[in-house]
Amino acid sequence: MAPEWDYDRRRAEGDFGDASFVTTKELRANLAEVLNRVAFGGEQIVVKRHGKPFVAIVATYDLQACQALEDYNDAKELERMKASGELDEPGIPIDEIARKYGLTE
């Protein structure tokens, strides 16, 4: 079984955890109240359009946490690539890549 934090599972199942939902109509009518719920109440709110998740409204600290996690994962992937030799410093020349994939004229 995939761990609870598994991104692919969450996407496949439409799992937004304990986030609240509002429609675009509700958001337009109650924008200030929704923003206050996020900013001061710490809620995460998913906005639905035509019954489907459209966008999420999260507090800035949640966004910063997501960005920090992404930076951490990028750094770990870079370390892994360097250790495995996948990343050939200083890099592969673009013309070599183009030839490899038949992109030259």
The total number of structural domains that make up the chain = 2
| pLDDT score, position 105 | 63
Please list the rounded mean pLDDT of every run of 10 residues in the chain (105 residues): 72 90 97 97 96 95 93 90 76 81 78
Q: What is the pLDDT of residues 17-36, one digit of tens each?
A: 899 999 999 999 999 999 99
Q: What's 43's domain CATH number?
A: 3.40.1620.10
- Assess contact for 48 and 25: CB atoms under 8 A: no
Answer whether residue 76 is part of any domain. Answer: yes
| pLDDT score, position 67 | 94
Answer whether residue 1 is part of any domain. Answer: no
| pLDDT score, position 5 | 67
Answer whether residue 6 is part of any domain. Answer: no
Answer whether residue 98 is part of any domain. Answer: yes
Residue 45 burial by Cβ neighbours in a 10 Å radius (0-12, 13-18, 19+): buried
Answer whether residue 89 is part of any domain. Answer: yes
* Residues of the domain holding 80: 60-105
